[in-house]
């Protein structure tokens, strides 16, 4: 059984991420969406919220599951019996970071391959950070987020404004 891991912060998951998940679910027997618990960052959504939002977004893909992880990705991969890291590649600007990460992961575990899927052009400019910035500044997006994620962002921002954070 070929198991792939699609790792990321997913704060929150976007249509760009879901496009990669859909496409790699056609290639691998099982895909684990691995959500990073990063104590150095303050995400908009907690790890539990991010996992729940992804779970709601992937209901139609029976071979895809979501797990939170911390620490080294290659260690998590070994625990999951996974041999392939899947990453989406948007533009040249992604390449430097992804290239060094792939080489480092291979150094850490030569049995693990990183495979890249080129993003669809309609999502080439999309990132979770840009989405958060747009919504925090009162804008909206069309076709870039599942409806329930948009509602969750709006709710979260309203709550933050109410709490004065």
Tokens for 107?
């150094």
The reply to whether 88 sits near ligand PNS by the rule CB under 6 A is no
**Pick from 105, 123, 135, 145: which binds ligand PNS (CB under 6 A)?**
105
Q: Which is nearer to ligand PNS, 32 or 159 (CB)?
A: 32
Q: Which is nearer to ligand PNS, 58 or 161 (CB)?
A: 58
Which residues have CB under 8 Å from 115's CB, separation 6+? 4, 84, 85, 86, 87
53-72 footprint of ligand PNS as x/- string (CB under 6 A): -------------------x
Q: Which is nearer to ligand PNS, 7 or 12 (CB)?
A: 7
The reply to whether 127 sits near ligand PNS by the rule CB under 6 A is no
Count of Cβ atoms closer than 10 Å to residue 158 Cβ = 10
Which 3 state secondary structure label does DSSP give 31?
strand
Shortest distance, position 82 Cβ to ligand PNS, whole Å: 13
The reply to whether 43 sits near ligand PNS by the rule CB under 6 A is no
Which 3 state secondary structure label does DSSP give 86?
strand
Q: Which helix (H) or strand (E) holds 16?
A: helix 15-25
The reply to whether 112 sits near ligand PNS by the rule CB under 6 A is no
The Cα 53–Cα 11 span in angstroms is 10
The reply to whether 73 sits near ligand PNS by the rule CB under 6 A is yes
Q: Buried b / exposed e across 99-117, counting CB within 10 Å, b at 16+?
A: eeebeebeeebeebebebb
Specify whether 130 is catalytic.
no
Residues with catalytic roles = 17, 41, 90, 128
Contact residues toward ligand PNS (CB under 6 A) are: 7-9, 36, 72-73, 101, 104-105
């Amino acid at each position: 059984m070929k198991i792939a891991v699609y790792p990321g912060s997913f704060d929150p998951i976007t249509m760009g991420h879901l496009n990669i998940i859909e496409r790699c679910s056609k290639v691998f027997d099982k895909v684990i969406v691995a959500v990073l618990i990063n104590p150095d960052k303050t995400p908009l959504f907690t790890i539990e919220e991010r996992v729940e939002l992804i779970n709601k977004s992937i209901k139609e893909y029976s071979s895809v599951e979501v797990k939170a992880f911390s620490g080294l990705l290659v260690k998590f991969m070994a625990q999951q019996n996974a041999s392939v890291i899947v990453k989406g590649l948007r533009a040249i600007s992604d390449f430097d970071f992804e290239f060094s990460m792939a080489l480092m992961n291979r150094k850490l575990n030569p049995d693990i391959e990183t495979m890249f899927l080129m993003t669809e052009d309609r999502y080439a400019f999309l990132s979770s950070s840009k989405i958060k910035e747009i919504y925090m500044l009162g804008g909206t997006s069309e076709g870039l987020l599942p409806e329930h994620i948009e509602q969750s962002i709006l709710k979260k921002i309203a709550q933050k404004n109410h709490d004065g954070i």
